[in-house]
Amino acid sequence: MEIVELLLNNTVITILLFAAIIYSMIASASVKSTFAKYNKIYASSKMPACDVARQILEMNGIYDIQIVRVAGNLTDHYDPRKKIIALSDTVYGSSAVGAIGVAAHECGHAIQYAKSYGPIKARNTLAPVVNICSQAWVWVFMIGCALGSLFMAEVGIVFFSVVVLFQLITLPVEFDASNRAIKTLVDTGILYGEEVKGARKVLKAAAMTYVSALLVSLLQLLRLISSTRSRKR
């Protein structure tokens, strides 16, 4: 009970939230610097990331996905509706360890869909609801506070909880895609030795941005709960 009280103490939460925001800033800077570092170290296989992606997909019996080039840096993603793996300018034609790691990670998502990986299905089911909740929660909460309606404020908090839940489910999805990526790169011999370590570092740095975003949201949620609790008293 004491721990619950402590966790719901506004001052403690505010301090932790501040720390989490700093951590998330460090995490996003770390992705950029780690990626920049390993985008200068080339794999001995000399295979460009777009070809690596094609090979990984074919190895997994996936032939209906297009690999396209998109503008920008770290804009790489998998679009399940369009069945497209979009690789950024810095990744697409590069045979650097970082680029290959990122391309393999996006393939990891495509494989998750092909194999009906549980958490990605849960994430997809939740996605339309999350879109509404992430837009609406702040309005519902603020109007609730302005009108003095505790019930409405609490509905806003429930909406925000759905967003936090979505971020939580995103974690296994991202970690699994990276694990699949590293395993395939090792198994195929596209990367080996120190090259694998480099790709792993890039993917780990990227995963940390999801962890830090979740931490920030979780503390924000606690703060909302704590402030409505103090209003109740």
Q: What angle do CA 73, 78, 79 make, to 5 degrees?
A: 115
Instruction: Give the nearest distance from C-beta 190 to Zn ion in angstroms.
Output: 19
**Cα 36 to chain center, whole Å?**
19
Q: Which is nearer to Zn ion, 179 or 188 (CB)?
A: 179
According to DSSP, residue 32 is labeled H
Instruction: Give the nearest distance from C-beta 179 to Zn ion in angstroms.
Output: 12
Residue whose tokens read 């070809």: 51
Q: Which is nearer to Zn ion, 85 or 157 (CB)?
A: 85
Which residues are near Zn ion by CB under 5 A?
174, 177
Which tokens hold the place of 204? 């780990």
* Contacts (Cβ under 8 Å, ≥6 apart) of 66: 82, 83, 84, 85
Q: Which is nearer to Zn ion, 20 or 177 (CB)?
A: 177
Three-class secondary structure of residue 64 per DSSP: coil
Q: Which is nearer to Zn ion, 28 or 227 (CB)?
A: 28
Instruction: Give the nearest distance from C-beta 167 to Zn ion in angstroms.
Output: 13
Query: Of the residues 5, 106, 174, 194, which is catalytic?
Result: 106
- Sheet holding 77-79: strands in order across? 66-70, 84-88, 77-79
**80 within 8 A of 125, measured Cβ to Cβ:** no
What is the signed CA dihedral for 184, 24, 132, 160, rounded to 10 degrees?
120
Q: Which is nearer to Zn ion, 174 or 195 (CB)?
A: 174
Three-class secondary structure of residue 148 per DSSP: coil
Any catalytic annotation for residue 106? yes
Residues annotated catalytic, as ranges: 106
